[in-house]
Chains A and B, each alone.
Chain A
Amino acid sequence: MRVSVRVFALLCACVVGALVPSRAHAQHAGATDPVLRARALRAGSPLKMFIPSGTVRIVAWDRDSIVVRGRVPSSGTLMFGGRDTSGYKLVIEQRDGGELPESHLLIYVPRRSQLSLKTADAIVDATDVSGWFYTVSGRYHIDGAASSLDVEAMSGDIDLEATTPFARAKTGKGHLVVRGTPQDVDASTIGGTLDIATSSIMHGRFTSVTGDIHYAAAIAPHALFELSTHSGTIDLLLPHDVSARLELSTVDGEIDNGFASVRPAAAGVHNLRLSLGAASADITVRTFKGKVIVRSR
């Protein structure tokens, strides 16, 4: 029984592997790399992974199986175990005294799998997966559809390009990009730049300490945003016909209002209130000593 499932999964891997183009460059694992593990995995099973270094490509597919292709160097060992009820675990274990194993993996998981992936400095590209993603100094690019995404980096870069009702992303000095079509977003950096380039967000909180925040997109009707920094610049590039109520305040910085033709609802040295269009969205901008720039496209 178990054997036939494995053979089936292997066959699936071959078929799907041939159909799914690998966007990765040469060193990434591809569909021609050897199958390292192939197992039945019920859709929706929790899957915990620890892959310290290298490149990882994760793709969700419509099969009840997990297939891992790629290469693991001799400094590492791939371990996989678990069961449906308690979840599964895939770990690249470092051999004693060895280098951080730099593996190159292509992993197919059942759609709706709830992943929990942790890396040290791996470069991860994932499509149609949900869950918790963590790295110390690696990089994440996540696209496709997700039920929720929670991505954390100590200092790595995060590029969210997914369609999801909920996304949370945090990094230190990494570059954080929010695009795709997320609805509720909580994104923050410490020193890194935060770029938001999507008009799908309904509830957004964007925070940085010293990093700059750039918002360059239309604003959804009735959206609710809050942007804040300590010293980073907050730059809003909006369509000229935007419909939003803007409340801008700075303790010790300056406000550069590009909508000069619109008479402010309230204006002081350190605060400005603007009603643009029908003012259906609500945007609050707050900074200690950063610059606030509001301009139209």
Chain B
Amino acid sequence: MTQAHLTEERLQGAADGSLDAEQMRAVYGHLSECESCAAEVARLRTVMTRAREANTGAPSLDDLWPAIRSRIEESKVVAPKAFAGRASGASARRPWLAIGSTAVAAALLIAAFTQMQRWTPHASEAVSPSRDVAFASAVDSTRFYEDESRRLLNDLEMQKAMMGPSASASLSGDLAIIDRSIAEQKDALARDPHNIALQRLLAAAYREKVDLLRRANNAG
């Protein structure tokens, strides 16, 4: 460590990835040897990540969870023991989720289990005494994923521009497949508005759309 520490400008550049490849090589070389600069870059990254997260305005699934949970308990659609611990413990059990943008993944895990719990087969379509609640829950779920997919679509064109042409074409193809399935299901639902299986399929289709758009977000 005979060389001087990184300048403020280099530290910032390393944290936000704005350095060119040549600079980046030199900076990484120093960071792999110098704990103090590496710590400073890590600190800057944390600050930047927080700033970015604060700007997204995304509804936090952590915030949604209590309401969803109480709805499940109210409805007695399922015994909440099976997934509840995991859903709330998901981020605690996975320290790796704490780094960078993977907080989104944590939210997704929670969402996945939330939905899983909500959709357990105990909520039998044919015989459940709380059919109305189960139906309302499926409608809620559809609405949530529909809103979320609309929000994510705002960034789609920029994401496509950042991907390679073949990845972008593949994304467009997959989106078209999901949108066709959503259109068919909405048509059918218009003719049979109380079909709970259909409502759940629609929620699942929107969820797939949200998942796809989030995966696309990571491609750039």
Contact = CB atoms under 8 A, between A and B. Distances in A.
A251 B191 CA distance: 12
A77 B22 CA distance: 10
B102 A116 contact: yes
Contact of B21 (A93, A154, A184, A252): A93
A113 to B, nearest CB: 9
Interface stretch (B62-70, B129-137, B144-152, B181-189): B181-189
Contacts of A225: 121
Given A83-B39, A154-B167, A251 B99 contact: no
Interface stretch (A22-30, A57-65, A233-241, A282-290): A282-290
A136 B167 contact: yes
A190 B197 CA distance: 19
Nearest to B22: A96
Given A188-B208, A282-B122, A137 B167 contact: yes
Contact of A155 (B102, B170, B211): B170
A79 B24 contact: yes
Interface residues of A, number: 72
A186 B112 contact: yes
A245 B21 CA distance: 59
A209 interface: yes
A291 interface: no
A114 B116 CA distance: 25
B109 A247 contact: no
Contact of A210 (B31, B95, B177, B219): B177
B37 to A, nearest CB: 9
A82 to B, nearest CB: 6
A152 B208 contact: no
Given A184-B86, A209-B181, A95 B167 contact: no
Interface string A210-235: 10000000000000111010110000
A116 B218 contact: no
A247 B170 contact: no
Interface string A168-187: 10101100000000001010
A249 to B, nearest CB: 5
A191 interface: yes
B28 A79 contact: yes
29 contacts: A44-B95, A46-B98, A46-B99, A82-B32, A82-B38, A83-B39, A83-B42, A87-B42, A96-B21, A114-B95, A132-B102, A134-B215, A136-B164, A148-B94, A168-B109, A173-B173, A173-B174, A186-B113, A205-B112, A207-B204, A226-B120, A228-B201, A245-B121, A247-B121, A251-B185, A251-B197, A271-B125, A284-B120, A288-B201
Given A81-B31, A209-B177, 4 more contacts: A46-B98, A83-B39, A203-B82, A209-B181
